[in-house]
């Protein structure tokens, strides 16, 4: 029977075949990279489980505190630039002016932050644990499988697509759930907006959704936190 790990190794190996200039690592070094990945991402999901299970109500009442948690534990492990590039297509992303590129990355970053806040509202005691890691033979791409244990529904798995940055750090770029990735769902919407309204239209659309959402949740927060991100 093909296991999850074997399936991911097959997919990642096929990806490696598309990169003939990349040199395959010896098996022991590939395993060492997988251990690095686990050491990097396992603490993240431990922190998410611990913080959400004990401080959900506090975070919902204080958006600034939850923003700080996301800033400290999540953003440093995510490559928003690569996610943005995948959403609109690498060629189009590379053709953007520096100003538009940074504006779009910031808009996508705040969109991902909004998703984290929306997820907080629906949190129901789930626990998250890294259960497997697979890295391709060139140690450029990989997957982290996360088990989500819930007290009210059957356990589920989600996969985090990761890539190694030029600085040698592994960062998340996409999430897959039940075989469907975030980028595959949203890229058609993003590209359609660009086709109809242009790049500025996409940036403004994302910024408007994010501003409206955070305005609503911050309106319910204590006045003492006003002026601090995201309020």
Q: Cα separation of 149 and 156, whole Å?
A: 7
Dihedral over alpha carbons 74, 75, 78, 82 (to 10 degrees) = 160
By the 10 Å C-beta count (0-12 exposed, 13-18 middle, 19+ buried), 38 is classed as middle
Question: What's the number of domains the chain is made of?
Answer: 1
Residue 121 lies in a domain: yes
Query: How many other CB atoms are there within 10 angstroms of residue 194's CB atom?
Result: 19
Mind listing the pLDDT tens digit for each residue in 90-123?
A: 999 999 999 999 999 999 999 999 999 999 999 9
Residue 47 lies in a domain: yes
Are the CB atoms for 150 and 16 separated by under 8 Å? no
Query: Given this model, what pLDDT does residue 178 score?
Result: 87
Residue 230 lies in a domain: no
Are the CB atoms for 117 and 217 separated by under 8 Å? yes
Dihedral over alpha carbons 80, 83, 87, 92 (to 10 degrees) = 80
Residue 145 lies in a domain: yes
pTM of the model: 0.87
Mind listing the pLDDT tens digit for each residue in 2-49?
A: 344 544 444 444 444 344 455 677 788 889 999 999 999 999 999 999
Given a cut of 80, is residue 1 above it in pLDDT?
Answer: no
Which CATH number belongs to the domain containing residue 80 in this structure? Answer: 3.10.450.710
Give the structural domain span for 61.
4-225
Residue 63 lies in a domain: yes
Scanning the chain, the segments in alpha helix (DSSP H) are 4-17, 27-61, 63-73, 80-88, 90-94, 98-121, 182-219
Residue 231 lies in a domain: no
Query: Given this model, what pLDDT does residue 22 score?
Result: 57
**Which of 159, 153, 152, 162 lies closest to 178 in space, CA to CA?**
159
Are the CB atoms for 206 and 111 separated by under 8 Å? yes
Q: Cα separation of 88 and 139, whole Å?
A: 25
Residue 39 lies in a domain: yes
Sheet holding 180-181, edge to edge: 127-135, 141-149, 156-164, 170-177, 180-181
Residue 163 lies in a domain: yes
Six token digits for residue 101: 């590129």
Mind listing the pLDDT tens digit for each residue in 119-177?
A: 999 999 999 999 999 999 899 999 999 999 998 889 999 999 999 998 889 999 999 99
């Amino acid at each position: 029977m093909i296991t999850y790990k074997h399936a991911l190794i097959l997919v990642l190996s096929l990806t490696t075949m598309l990169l003939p200039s990349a040199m395959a690592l010896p098996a022991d070094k590939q395993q060492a990279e997988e251990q690095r990945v686990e050491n990097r991402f396992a603490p993240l999901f431990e922190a998410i489980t611990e913080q959400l299970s004990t401080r959900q109500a506090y975070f919902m009442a204080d958006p600034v505190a939850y923003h700080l948690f996301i800033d400290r534990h999540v953003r440093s492990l995510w490559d928003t630039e690569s996610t943005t590039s995948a959403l609109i297509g690498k060629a189009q992303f590379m053709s953007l002016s520096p100003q538009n590129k940074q504006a779009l990355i910031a808009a996508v970053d705040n969109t991902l932050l909004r998703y984290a806040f929306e997820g907080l509202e629906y949190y129901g005691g789930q626990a998250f644990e890294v259960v497997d890691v697979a890295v391709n033979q060139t140690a450029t791409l990989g997957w982290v499988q996360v088990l989500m244990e819930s007290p009210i529904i059957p356990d589920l798995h989600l996969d985090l697509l990761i890539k190694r940055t030029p600085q040698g750090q592994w960062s998340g770029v996409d999430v897959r759930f039940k075989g469907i990735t975030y980028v595959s769902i949203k890229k058609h919407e993003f590209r359609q907006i660009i086709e109809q309204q242009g790049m500025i239209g996409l940036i403004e659309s994302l910024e408007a959704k994010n501003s409206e959402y955070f305005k609503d949740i911050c309106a319910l927060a204590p006045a003492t936190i006003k002026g601090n991100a995201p309020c």
